[in-house]
Copies of this chain bind each other. A is one copy, B any other.
Amino acid sequence: MTTSDVMSGVLAPVVTPFKADLSADTERLITHCKWLLSQDCGLAVFGTNSEANSLTMDERFELLDSLVDAGLDPARMMPGTGCCSIFDSVALTKRAIQLGCGGVLMLPPFYYKAVSDEGIYRSFAQIIERCGDDRLRIYLYHFPQMSAVPFSIDLIGRLLEDFPGIVVGMKDSSGDQANLEAVMKAFPGFGMFAGNETLLLANMRLGGAGCISATANVNPAGIVNLFDNWEADNANEVQAGLDIVREAVQQFVLIPAMKKMISHYGSDQEWNRVRPPLIELDNAQSGKLIDDLDALGFEMPGLAG
């Protein structure tokens, strides 16, 4: 494994637009991905915030193909490919490899709870062996609050030892800085992405690779600016500025809040739609969100272009 094999920077778990019939809106997704890339933000499509687990497998295949067909750089893509069934994970991961994606972000199988490290290990071993491709680069998706299936330090160590150059990093969405520190101390050089930008500076100081953050969908340039300048004297202030925007967004459920923002700042009502079991913000919530952001002077330049 060479250093260039590990992705770095800021990636957005790209939100997925839906049409009135709740089918995926491929054209709007491509447009949003182009805007994110124009802000130097990578594409973690099919993440939690993409409502990926509300998409069928066929939809995920079609959307991923469409993005690459549209000329977007697959090297900047880290699609989520971890499904409940390891056979689905294998199929989607193979497609990502074939398309040249820079890596994949992999949830463990997440229906069964209280499973053993051995069981999670076997899941990943099966997926890796069935993919059988040296180009595979896996980032473990640690999100105990949502998957309820955490990666222990022991498990990460075992995967790194048995699959060197294949398991190369992690997204830590626990929000627990102590966990970030423990993992980076145990595995220096690990391709660690903070699960959101509030821990981006801390993660960079620990030698991490960047962050994959929901709010990179709406504030990519600001977050990329911190990534580019994390060693600057004013980095703490820049971090604090990002945190204020984040707070304004996450006072509501993130996915509908971000879709409202894209809808509002991009003047496109079509964006303001989620799939059940999520629901859109109501009028009062939407009003407060935009008021709070306007008060901060928040903008999304170039969005509608």
Q: Which residues of A contact B (CB under 8 A)?
A: 22, 48, 53-57, 59, 84-88, 91, 108-113, 115-116, 118-120, 122-123, 125-126, 145-146, 148-149, 275-279
What residues of chain B lie closer than 8 Å to A87, measured between beta carbons? Answer: 55-56, 59
Contact call A86/B276, Cβ cutoff below 8 A: yes
What residues of chain B lie closer than 8 Å to A123, measured between beta carbons? Answer: 276-277
What is the CB-to-nearest-CB distance from A191 to chain B, in angstroms, rounded to a whole number? Answer: 23
Contact call B57/A57, Cβ cutoff below 8 A: yes
What residues of chain B lie closer than 8 Å to A59, measured between beta carbons? Answer: 85, 87
Which of B91, B112, B119 is within 8 Å of A53, CB to CB? B112
Which of B111, B115, B126 is within 8 Å of A110, CB to CB? B111
What are 21 A-to-B residue pairs whose CB atoms are below 8 Å? A48-B112, A53-B109, A53-B112, A54-B85, A54-B111, A56-B85, A56-B91, A57-B57, A59-B85, A86-B275, A110-B111, A112-B278, A113-B148, A115-B277, A116-B277, A118-B279, A119-B276, A119-B278, A120-B277, A123-B276, A149-B277
Contact call B56/A112, Cβ cutoff below 8 A: no
The residue on B at minimum CB distance from A108 is B277
What residues of chain B lie closer than 8 Å to A146, measured between beta carbons? Answer: 111-113
Contact call B126/A276, Cβ cutoff below 8 A: yes
What residues of chain B lie closer than 8 Å to A119, measured between beta carbons? Answer: 276-279
Cα(A57)–Cα(B111), bound, Å = 15
Contact call B54/A279, Cβ cutoff below 8 A: no
Contact call B86/A84, Cβ cutoff below 8 A: no
What is the CB-to-nearest-CB distance from A64 to chain B, in angstroms, rounded to a whole number? Answer: 16
What residues of chain B lie closer than 8 Å to A109, measured between beta carbons? Answer: 53-54, 276-277
What residues of chain B lie closer than 8 Å to A118, measured between beta carbons? Answer: 279
What residues of chain B lie closer than 8 Å to A115, measured between beta carbons? Answer: 277-278
